[in-house]
Structure 1
Amino acid sequence: MPELPEVEVVRAGLAEHVAGRTIAAVEVLHPRAVRRHEPGPADFAARLGGMRIDSVRRRGKYLWLEFATGVDDTDDAAHAAHAAHAALLAHLGMSGQMLVQPASAPDEKHLRVRLRFADDGTELRFVDQRTFGGFALSELLEVEGEALPRTIAHIARDPMDPAFSATHAARALRSKRTELKRALLDQTLVSGVGNIYADEALWRSKLHWARPTEKLTAAQADAVLAAATEVMAEALIAGGTSFDPLYVNVNGQSGYFDRALNAYGRVGEPCRRCGAPIRRDEFMNRSSFSCPRCQPTPRRRR
């Protein structure tokens, strides 16, 4: 599943290509892509028509389109009021792609939703092979001085957020009674970190994924959060991590940070720090990769 760097790459691409444009028509080609919009696909398409995209925002692994408070048809007061209080929330799921394509380009095999714009230029396509991702119109709520879609209002700030407090996040991390990696993946503590960057942050900070959070020192909590911030910033510069062709940016290009990974996916390969073979452990129906020498297994809780 795309994590913060991959979603931020998509957000930046959308901001460049769709911000300021007015949606002329929406075509829902698979109902699962808008399953979270309870009134259904027809209502979803009707409510988006005529809306002008003001900005593209992100928190953690979620991104959303905010609309200008005015619409092209200034007589439509209801439409304008809706624009001021709703956002188009998107989640990429396991295989979702947001592609900016010429209208003349052939449809992708797994095209689920198409947004056409009033300027007759490129169109925005949501392609999703596994149909775990999708769109939803969500009410905007004021949370700590920011407008957030209601459905993600509980999600914590991510390390790329200018208002993110590493001190607060470290304190919250140490207050939990769980395994360290589980805490890093808890989006209510710190958002945006997924399996890949959790493993990379743990490798950099020399901490095992199963270390009890309540036994972390303040320095260790600070170190793992700093490592997560650092590795995601580096991944963002590289365009994200692509292990298969399903993750691409809005132009269909893959990231290349997978070449710089130190732990994730490197089972049996030598640790770049000490040379010991990287191990793989089962973790929450997924995998955790770590160095047995640099990241020793903690003692069991008593």
Structure 2
Amino acid sequence: MKAKTALPAAAMTAVSMVLTLAVVMMWLGRAMPWPVALVVGLGIDGGWLATLAYERRLAAQGDHSRAVTAVGWSFGLVATGVLVAHALTAEADTGAWLAVAWLPIAAKALWLVHGMWERTVLTPRALDMIRGVQQEARDEAAVARARLRAEAGTEETRLTAVTEAGARIARVQAKTAQTLSRAWSTLETARSGEDTGRALTSVTHRVTPDVTPRWELPVWGPIEPLAPALETAPALSDAALDTLVDEIRHSETPALSYREMAVRFRAAGHSASEVRLRAAWKRVA
């Protein structure tokens, strides 16, 4: 890399020095002896070369001198001024001479770029470390992107599965609700029909001659727990059970049905098995 910046600057400096010397010889050689013109040209090139060498030595030591830099740029400007003056006073090819008049300034600029490169150059070891850090950062970024893509894919699969399962549950619930609705409608039609009433009357007339049969559909709702007294209530004798059943049955007019009597019996805190309670109902009814 050092040769890529130093060689162009050195080549353009050499071309500028040769061009300056040639222009001084051609321009001043007509007005004065050629040895004098040669001395002038070599003086310009020699001063330029000396200040350039001094600048390079200071740069190699890590130092810098503004005075030396100013002298170097002064020689570059003098060389450029000589080329511009010759181009303006030339009888022919003025444009061509002006086209190369910028070479001394360009050479100084190239040496400036080379100096900036030298102040910022890094060792191969440092460059390898920087490349390693950059590669590690790229690897971590790639792994992070892959992890995010994998997590996104997993989440998408999970959401799809949950959505499909929810849709299946919803379809099953809708189908079950539809089935229950049809069954409930059938039961309600059977309950409210006249034929059902006559059938129930003919069946229950001999058992409960004074009670009009009532068939009600079960009501869906929260389950009410039994009273705590049922767990500790003493067992009733058959006579006491018959008396309670008869009192509850005739507590209203007309007499209560077995279902209503059983609900009020247990709500009052009494305890009896379903078999005994039905037997008492049959005895008192």
Question: Whose RCO is larger (CA < 8 A, sep 6+)?
Answer: 1
Structure with greater strand percent: 1
Looking at CA atoms only, which structure, 1 or 2, has the larger radius of gyration? 2
Structure with greater helix percent: 2
TM-score normalised by the chain length of structure 1: 0.20
TM-score normalised by the chain length of structure 2: 0.20
